[in-house]
Amino acid sequence: MTGPPGMLSHIREVMGTCLHCGMCLPECPTYDITNDERSSPRGRIRLLRSVMDGTLDPGGDFAGEMNFCLDCRACETACPAGVRYGELVEHARTIITERKLEPVGIRIKKYIVLRLVFGSKKRFGFFTRIARFYRRSGLREAVERSGLLGLFPAAFGRLVMSVPDVADRDFSPDGAVPPAAGGSAGKVGLLTGCIMNAAFPGVHEDTVRLLERCGEGVVIPAGQFCCGSLHGHNGDPVRARRLAAALMKLFPDDLDAVIVNSAGCGSFMKHYGELFRDDPSMVGYAGRFAEKVTDVTEFIARRNPRPADPRGDARVTYHDACHLLHGQGVSAQPRTLLRSVPGARFVELPESTRCCGSAGIYNILRPADSDELLRRKIGNILSTGAEIVATANPGCHLQIERGLRAAGSGITVCHPVTLLSRGVGAGGGR
């Protein structure tokens, strides 16, 4: 069976905590789509147990169901027994990836995204430059309008359409930002990461501005790249560990916190200790690093910074990124912060806790299922009458933006820190 012995016994232990009560089923978006037990958390746990016991072939149904799962972890929030389901599905994906059990189309997409684009900082930079040219030159609109993509296999067309709307520039850190005059609250590090750096440099600037307003000195280590979450969530823990180790090395030991403004990254980095469970030379260090990881909304809510200058007013709603809500248990803080923005009239989003279908690279791997979830999300957003929807994860941001554009809506999507930093007249925050 795939994985070191420590990992295998840990997975069996986690599976053993399931009481088979079924309380997770109503919260599971994929069970909602199929009404089939195999597409539910409880069903998937049974499938994994059968594969590990050697009574079920891991190809076919097993591989399909594990990739159909969004890894949204809504089941974890619903579970009375505290089953850490995310660890189970990620282990299952490691089995199917290592044994090459997925359809060839999925393997090709994973190879392109995880190995080519997010495989190294240099290659990521190269693809970012292409994406910028694609966006700036007007090629994107021309390709979308022309219908040319219809001449290619659907999977290729979808891949081209998934090129993220990157910003015109990277975030350019100075290395360190000293605390504002009179401020001496402490010293924190900022994760700049990969996609946040390329697509949302403005969100990093807003984050730094808010941290400064809280009196924090901000260390922004140069040379940062991906935290490994995309790889860890999609069956490649080896590459995830390599990326995590390289990233941790860049941060000095004397920080009070490592601030993250991307929910998927933060959720993964808070479990760096578990990622290195079978490596005695790293487990303690990674665990100490993980304890410092804090989502920006968690951190700022504790500090209560001076609000942004009032600039107009707008109805604002909030979409819970799965890996902030279910992965980190952060729900009240972003709402409290958004309610504090001058001019913001906060309105709850129906089904705000339901996945938007982005789910890391799910929207690339399973576009039809992803679109079904997105349509529902967009319908809910439109029903609020909001002018702004805030969300704290780049995947959700890009997915919802794409859905709103397709629906012909002018609603702005932005990170909560952008509203806090610049007020409701901020625009999208790139």
Residues that bind ligand SF4 (CB under 6 A): 18-24, 27-30, 41-42, 44, 69-75, 78-79, 81, 83, 85
Instruction: Please state the closest distance from residue 1 (CB atom) to ligand SF4, in A.
Output: 21
Q: In angstroms, what is the minimal distance from the CB of 81 to ligand SF4?
A: 4
Closest CB 233 distance from ligand SF4, rounded Å: 10
CB of 281 to ligand SF4, least distance (A): 32
Q: How far is the CB of 31 from ligand SF4 (least distance, A)?
A: 6
Nearer to ligand SF4, 274 or 387 (CB): 274
Which of 320, 278, 274 has its CA nearest to residue 293? Answer: 274
| CB of 83 or CB of 101, closer to ligand SF4 | 83
**Complex with ligand SF4: residue 44 or 402, whichever CB lies closer:** 44
Nearer to ligand SF4, 66 or 344 (CB): 66
Q: Judged by CB, which is closer to ligand SF4: 92, or 114? A: 92
Q: Which is nearer to ligand SF4, 65 or 216 (CB)?
A: 65
For the chain, how big is the Rg over CA atoms in Å? 21
Residue 343 beta carbon to ligand SF4: minimum distance, rounded to whole angstroms: 35
